[in-house]
Chains A and B, each alone.
Chain A
Amino acid sequence: MGIGAATYWILAKELRTELRTRELLHTTVVFVLLVVVLFSFTFEPTREESRRYGPGLLWLALLFAGSLMLQPAFIREQNNDTLSALRLAPIASLAIFLGKALASFVFLTVAELFLLPIFAALYGVAILPVLGEILVVLALGTLGMVTTGTVFAAIGVQARMRELLLPLLLLPLLVPVLIASVSATASLLALEPSMDWTAMKFLIGFDVIYLAASALLFEFLLED
């Protein structure tokens, strides 16, 4: 069975499960919302200040949400040892990785789409004029997050304290994603919006490097 088809079936299975339970979506959305509101108490949320701190706030909320959501998303395959069933099937382990990572990508993106208008309204930032660009930045940053996060979740399921361990491993690794995404978002939300092409290329580079590394190394984590 081709990698594409196997990835598709796993992704479809993930989406169907999530549509039914909505566990990950609900908890992630509520969590990001909470962080965004809590942040408003840490500084004077005037238009001026919001423009300065907003992008960082947005990305920190997303990073924390991602690092909390990715482990449960992977543990689903452990509850009834369905991971063994996937490994028995004649599919490449890359398909398992891609299916899981793409599913997490979709969940996080949905949470972001929900969050974005609320964030814009609460902090008075004009998002509509640069909506397309913002979405591209969000997609690139999220891709980096779920790629590394899915691999680390596969590491985490083999350790004790897994829920706590994943953020500890993932967040320092994502420092470059945080920096580049915040920079790109900040230039888009500035008084005179502009595209930070260096940041975009940088994010693409990060995504490509870690997608390749994950594709090469993921199967080592599945073996027993």
Chain B
Amino acid sequence: MHRNGSFRFELSGTLAVAALMGVAGYAVFFLAPTERTMGEIQRIFYFHVASAWTAFLAFFIVFVANLNYLMRRRPVWDQLAVAAAEVGIAFCTVVLLTGPIWAKPVWGIWWTWDARLTSTFVLWLLYVGYLLLRSLVEDPGRRAVTSAVFGIFAFLDVPIVYMSIRWWRTQHPEPVIAGGEGSGLDPTMWRVLLVCLMAMVALLVLLLRQRFRLEQLRGKLEELRLHIGAKPTPRF
């Protein structure tokens, strides 16, 4: 009964996110105006930027979970951290893939060492390191503590990396879109971007929830195994 209800809730949630993604897709391809200089390819911008912001949100969740784990020592915070890190890397990968697809026709090159793209790449490397570290520490308690400390160090690095690259490495002109104040994004474009962002965040919540629950089930399974396996055997 309960399980059935939860399944129905699960299904309707997934369908809602799918519908939202559909709306976002429709908005991007049919509602957003075609950009004057870049043409159709510019439409990738909506997914690119929305994924980037969503990835940052995910890594922020990792950071908050890391802090909470160190202060409270509840396994749920560790489970949330790993779930958010994995989902964040997925969104980050989307950013890194859509970037070159967009850059090639517009700038004529696959990759530019521009501040945003490069710092996203460094960010991606940091969180891949986070998962790598987790896979190399055996004991769950140690794994949670060490990866929490590393996660906090990595998150502190994000703005520093961005600033360093922006100040010293960006030889290219300001990115055409969303380059700060004065880049003047069309109001319709803004609205489409917001819809896209909502869809991406909804997707994040959905994936995060699934991944988190999987991690929780894993934890419970470990507990059960422990319960069966490690019963003290009387020797006397």
Q: Mark B65-93, 1 if CB is under 8 A from A, else 0.
A: 00000100000000000000000000000
**How far, in angstroms, from A109 to B101 measured CA to CA in the complex?**
44
Chain A positions 175 through 193: 1 when the CB is less than 8 Å from some CB of chain B, otherwise 0: 1100110010000000000
User: Which residue of the partner chain, among B137, B148, B167, B168, contacts A158 with CB atoms under 8 Å?
Assistant: B137
In the bound complex, CA of A148 to CA of B145 (Å) = 16
The secondary-structure label for the interface of chain A is helix
Query: Within the complex, what minimum Cβ distance (angstroms) separates B18 from chain A?
Result: 35
Q: Is B125 on the interface with A (CB-CB < 8 A)?
A: yes
Asked if B171 is an interface residue, CB under 8 A from chain A, the answer is no
Residues of B within 8 A of A213 (CB): 152-153, 156
- CB A89 to nearest CB in B, in angstroms, measures 22
B70 touches A217 (CB 8 A): yes
A159 at the interface (CB under 8 A from B): yes
Contact of B132 among A151, A165, A173 (CB under 8 A): A165
Check A172–B122 contact: CB distance below 8 A: yes
Q: Which of B122, B149, B168 contacts A220 (CB 8 A)?
A: B149
Give which listed residue, B133, B161, B169, contacts A169 with CB less than 8 A: B133
CB distance from A46 to the nearest CB of B (A): 23
Docked complex: B144-196 residues within 8 A CB-CB of A: 145-146, 148-150, 152-154, 156-157, 160-161, 163-165, 167-169
| Interface membership of B8, Cβ < 8 A | no
| Cα distance, A168 to B133, chains bound together (Å) | 9
Contacts of A221 in B (CB 8 A): 145-146, 149
State how many angstroms separate the Cβ of A153 from the closest Cβ of chain B.
Answer: 11
Give the residue name and chain of the B residue nearest to A178 (CB). B164
User: Which residues of chain B are within 8 angstroms of A155 by Cβ–Cβ distance?
Assistant: 133, 146, 149-150
**How many Å lie between the Cα of A183 and that of B70 in the bound state?**
36
Q: Is the CB of A179 within 8 A of B164?
A: yes
Using Cβ atoms and an 8 Å threshold, which residues of chain B touch A53?
none
B129 sits at the interface (CB 8 A): yes
Q: B137 — which chain A residues lie within 8 A by C-beta?
A: 158-160
Q: Which residues of A lie under 8 Å from residue B220 when comparing CB positions?
A: none
- Smallest Cβ-Cβ distance to A177: which chain B residue: B164
Between A165, A175, A199, the greatest number of chain B beta carbons within 10 A of the residue's beta carbon is seen for: A175
Flag if B149 contacts A172 (CB, 8 Å). Answer: no
Q: Please pick, from B142, B148, B149, B160, the residue contacting A151 in the complex, using a CB distance under 8 A.
A: B149
Which residue of B126, B133, B145 contacts A165 across the interface (Cβ within 8 Å)?
B133
Q: Is A198 an interface residue (CB 8 A)?
A: yes
A158 engages B142 (CB within 8 Å): yes
Q: Looking at the assembled complex, report how far the CB atom of B74 sits from the nearest CB atom of chain A, in whole angstroms.
A: 15
Query: Do A206 and B149 touch across chains, with their CB atoms under 8 A apart?
Result: no
Interface readout for A209-223 with B: 1 if CB under 8 Å, 0 if not?
A: 110010001001101
B226 shortest CB reach to chain A, Å: 19
Asked if A161 is an interface residue, CB under 8 A from chain B, the answer is yes
Residues of A within 8 A of B156 (CB): 209-210, 213
CB distance from B47 to the nearest CB of A (A): 25
CB-CB under 8 A from A148, the residues of chain B are: 153
* Chain B, Cβ-Cβ closest to A171: B125
CA distance A223 to B145 in the complex (A): 9
- B61 vs chain A, min Cβ distance (A): 19
Complex CA–CA separation, A155 to B168 (angstroms): 31
Cα-based distance from A190 to B198 in the complex (angstroms): 49
With A210-B153, A220-B70 known as contacts, the answer to whether A169 contacts B129 (CB < 8 A) is yes
Bound complex: CA A169 to CA B161 (Å): 15
What are 6 A-B interface contacts by the 8 Å CB criterion? A158-B137, A158-B142, A159-B136, A169-B132, A172-B129, A183-B168
14 additional A-B pairs beyond A151-B153, A202-B163, beta carbons within 8 Å, are A152-B153, A160-B138, A168-B129, A172-B125, A173-B153, A175-B122, A176-B163, A202-B167, A213-B152, A213-B156, A217-B153, A220-B145, A220-B149, A221-B149
Top-9 shortest CB links A-B: A176-B164, A159-B136, A172-B125, A179-B164, A155-B146, A176-B160, A160-B136, A159-B137, A169-B129
